[in-house]
Structure 1
């Protein structure tokens, strides 16, 4: 091997040694690193699990068939009416949700004040049927998309009917009250505006079956029979703890 080749080989060996010796220093120098910065943390999804309390307001409407019958054969025997009953409403509700994955299960109860009623007039009799409150206890099952949830709901419904009866020949009017349990079902949407404030909208249908009441005073022998059903739309605001 000639002297010239030996000198070139020695130079290459020295250059490689110098590079290998300097490599750890370059790796330790942050300014020379070409690694990508760490990825930002993904935002946490909203959790619907928890207790909540709220208020709601809306509108209720219904249409039912009412029959007045009389065992004494008076003039209003067998009078039948189909009437509607519309009313604004407002009240409060409370419930609890539990979320697993995208599914949300819960239970909710509510109570509302309203001013529903209709007046029925037949020969020899007038009847005013009113409803001052309604309530429910329901299960709920929903599907959550982060802060937005759609759900179905169903359970027991409660209300009370008041009957104010006035007869042409009666010495005094008669007032009767009848509590009634039925069923209700519907669907709604909820949106978590903040971690604690939840906005909602809901539709429900309620059916109270056949309701009957018999007079016991001056109008003894009179029976009032109804088949009431109601629709309700509500908007709500709730606070989740």
Structure 2
């Protein structure tokens, strides 16, 4: 009997081992994939180049007689006109710096950017003549005008959507500033009475306005992106006044005013290097 029980126990052990070998082995499931890193969050710096052209290229100017004595009414000049100087186009180049922040599970982006560009263009000069009346005497007036945008910069917010982790479409808008120059020279001559008048004035300063536009930016390799962008800017109107003195009567003079608006368009391409200093580390949870 002891032998029978021993043989039965051995058979049971071998049968259990064989059954366990036939059972499928259990393996732990693979860990979930890591979320994509925040490629855009953080500081960046870059360079840009492109072109600009003015939306408004006209200048209005007028002279108005100032009459200290009634007899001067026969000599004071009155003239007005408008000059168009073309598109005032030029090449621009400069740099930008900014910060991006990704949100909405990395699909949206908000940020701020500041930039400044120099403008390579010739002076926008123009001359035109107009007829006028000095009392009952005809007068000819010649205007020489200059308007120029020397540099332009912006400080803007950006809001965009990432169609893919590396492709961003964005809108942008904010403050614009630029160095503007505007000058006027006037010569008036009476046809029959020998009247002559001369005057000049100039304005050069930094103007502040607004800008808005949009663009497309592509992260073509880690830390590097390229963009194309359009901006419209408006720096407002510049008024330049002066005095035109006369050789006929020493106390006789005319006041004149030049009015021109500095607004236009910018199309540029750029490249940025992203430091990702502000990006939070990716922590995997299992």
Match of residue 165 from structure 1: 184
Residues 78-227 of structure 1 correspond to what in structure 2 (within 5 A)? 78-82=80-84, 83-100=86-103, 101=105, 102-116=107-121, 117-123=123-129, 124-144=142-162, 145-168=164-187, 174-215=201-242, 221-227=255-261
Q: How far off its partner does 1:215 sit?
A: 3.0
What SS does structure 2 have at the residue aligned with 1:18? helix
What SS does structure 2 have at the residue aligned with 1:129? strand
Q: How far off its partner does 1:43 sit?
A: 6.7
Equivalents in 1 of 2:113, 2:120: separation in Å? 23
Give unmatched runs, 5+ long, in structure 2. 1-6, 66-75, 130-141, 189-196, 246-252, 276-286
Residues 61, 86 of structure 1: 8 Å contact kept: yes
Match of residue 71 from structure 1: 64
What SS does structure 2 have at the residue aligned with 1:47? coil
Q: 1:217 to 1:96 in 2, by over 3 A?
A: farther
Equivalents in 1 of 2:204, 2:114: separation in Å? 23
Q: How far off its partner does 1:58 sit?
A: 0.5
Q: How far off its partner does 1:214 sit?
A: 1.7
Equivalents in 1 of 2:262, 2:214: separation in Å? 21
Residues 210, 225 of structure 1: 8 Å contact kept: yes
Mapped pair 1:233 → 2:267:
yes
What SS does structure 2 have at the residue aligned with 1:21? helix
Q: How far off its partner does 1:16 sit?
A: 6.6
TM-score normalised over the length of structure 1: 0.79
Which is bigger in relative contact order (C-alpha 8 A, separation at least 6)? 2
Q: 1:88 to 1:19 in 2, by over 3 A?
A: farther
TM-score normalised over the length of structure 2: 0.68
Q: How far off its partner does 1:40 sit?
A: 8.4
Query: Which of the numbers 59, 67, 89 marks the counterpart of 2:51?
Result: 59
Match of residue 17 from structure 2: 21
Aligned residues: 227
Q: How far off its partner does 1:193 sit?
A: 1.6
Equivalents in 2 of 1:174, 1:195: separation in Å? 54
CA RMSD between the two structures = 3.3
